[in-house]
Structure 1
Amino acid sequence: MSPRAPLPPPPPPAEIQSWPDREARLADRARAMAELTRRLIGGARLTVFLVWLATLQLGWGICGSGLIMLEESIDPISGLFAAFFVALGLGAVVPAVYFLGRGVREDRLARERLLLWAVLDADRTADARLREPVLSVVWLLLSLLLCAVGLWVSLAAPAEGVGPGRGYGTVAYLMGMGLGLWIGGLIGTTKAIGHYRLAVRLVA
């Protein structure tokens, strides 16, 4: 996989800005803002987000299997298999958490640069194209669904408690799964609402 291209830089400071005319400045502004918007809520960004969220859930599922096996193990061999599954799951959980966190940091940086380009000038025609209503709605609806499912699982797992065929490992697995979904949904919801508010402000 090739290294990811860097974000468009912020506009130069006022004392060294050297556009030949306003049209050139608006053209650079439109290109930078379009790329930053794509990096924030574009289809590729959504795909990467979902892939890492799915990787997180897959890894935690493997960890959960190990936790359940560890709880039910009756001999050292079973315990070793359980520990192996936990370690295998963490091998997916750790990079997924890292890349999801890096995505949040990159989103924050992209939004900061988008705001800097936005205050540089005003171009209602170009700015109207940055709303991306379809992608914004997809981000919002998908994220709200993740939040709802994650919150329900997180609350239902400890509420039902431990019982026959449902040990502490199962409860821990369900709570972790719900928490991962809820946090992922919260990230997406914040992104969608933040972009909508910015887009509305640009064309107001």
Structure 2
Amino acid sequence: MPRRDLPPPPPPAHLRAWLDETAVRADRARFLGELERLSLGTGRLLLLWAVSAVFALGWSFVGMALMAFEEGGMAEGFVGAVFLVLGAGVLVPAGFWFVWGAKRDRQVRQLLCAWAESDRDPVGDARLRMPGRSLVWLLSSLLLCALGLWVTFGSAGTARPGSDTYGEVACFMGLGMILWITGLLGAGKAAAHYRWALRAFRPRRQAPAQAQAEPGPPPVTAPVPAQERRSASKERPPLGSG
């Protein structure tokens, strides 16, 4: 069942026949717009980046724990253990938050499919097929992917033995991977939503009215043999008789 803050599912087909068609179409347009905003709105994009920032914060604690463990002292080991616990305390809630967002996205997608298949609205569906939101998600996600790859390979390529520790390299490479994976998730979601919108809101093909109104060819009658025509003319009485 969908959450209470999500739009309701469309009424069944046997109930839509008894409802006002104009009201049902208006509800469909309103709920589809709201569901699209919940799926690809600016708030949803910022929420994805917020989850990524929490993951980055947790991994930063893990990286500081690795750098502390590399020092080898007892005090540094205690500080590293503290940072490791802090990192786990941040990463675990972030993981639950990510799973909750994935379940909510699945619910929104199911409602989108259900409302899209319930009816057709040429004007409203043409607006939903426009790639505005998907394009914003795609471009911003590609920039995030580029930034993540630059951080990952830049930190690994510029590391020098003796000046940079393994913990520092692992910390920066992990941050870059988090950015890169976040960008991939956003780009994949944008592309998948746009492909689905093109299929779901495709206008139906209708036969031309002229082809429907054009009459069919006249029936073909078999030719009458010549002998039957001569016999019929012999049996016909002459004009004026009787």
Would you call these one fold, judging by a TM-score over 0.5? yes
Mean alpha-carbon deviation: is it higher for 121-130 or for 194-203? 194-203
Q: Which runs of 5+ in 2 are unaligned?
A: 204-242
Alpha-carbon deviation of 1:80?
0.7
Is residue 2:46 matched to residue 1:37? no
Counterpart in 2 of 1:71? 70
Counterpart in 2 of 1:148? 146
80, 83, 86: which is aligned to 2:84?
86
CA distance in 1, matches of 2:168, 2:129: 43
SS in 2 for 1:119: helix
Alpha-carbon deviation of 1:109?
2.2
Alpha-carbon deviation of 1:90?
2.4
Letter of the 1:67 partner, please give it. L
Q: Which has the higher contact order (CA 8 A, sep 6+)?
A: 1
CA distance in 1, matches of 2:4, 2:131: 25
Figure out how many residues of one structure are paired with residues of the other and give that number. Answer: 200
Counterpart in 2 of 1:200? 198
Is residue 2:64 matched to residue 1:51? no
Alpha-carbon deviation of 1:20?
1.6
Q: Percent identity?
A: 45
CA distance in 2, matches of 1:18, 1:80: 70
Q: CA 1:19–1:160 in 2, change beyond 3 Å: closer, same or farther?
A: farther
Q: For 1:147-196, what per-residue CA distance to the aligned partner results, in whole angstroms no more than 9, with x for missing partners?
A: 22323444555566772222322232233212211221111111211222
| Contact 2:16–2:24 (8 Å) recurs in 1 | no
Alpha-carbon deviation of 1:40?
0.4
Tell me the C-alpha RMSD between the 2 structures: 2.5
CA distance in 2, matches of 1:53, 1:5: 26
Counterpart in 1 of 2:239? none
CA distance in 1, matches of 2:141, 2:156: 23
157, 164, 172: which is aligned to 2:162?
164
| Contact 1:137–1:192 (8 Å) recurs in 2 | yes
Letter of the 2:75 partner, please give it. I
Letter of the 2:196 partner, please give it. L
Counterpart in 2 of 1:137? 135
CA distance in 2, matches of 1:189, 1:87: 33
Alpha-carbon deviation of 1:11?
1.9
Q: CA 1:169–1:50 in 2, change beyond 3 Å: closer, same or farther?
A: same
Q: For 1:122-161, what per-residue CA distance to the aligned partner results, in whole angstroms no more than 9, with x for missing partners?
A: 1122223335644332211111122223234445555667
Structure with larger Rg: 2
Counterpart in 2 of 1:21? 20
Letter of the 1:141 partner, please give it. L
| Contact 2:28–2:115 (8 Å) recurs in 1 | yes
**TM-score with structure 2 length normalisation?**
0.72
Alpha-carbon deviation of 1:203?
4.8
| Contact 2:138–2:190 (8 Å) recurs in 1 | yes
CA distance in 2, matches of 1:19, 1:140: 42
**TM-score with structure 1 length normalisation?**
0.84
Higher helix share: 1
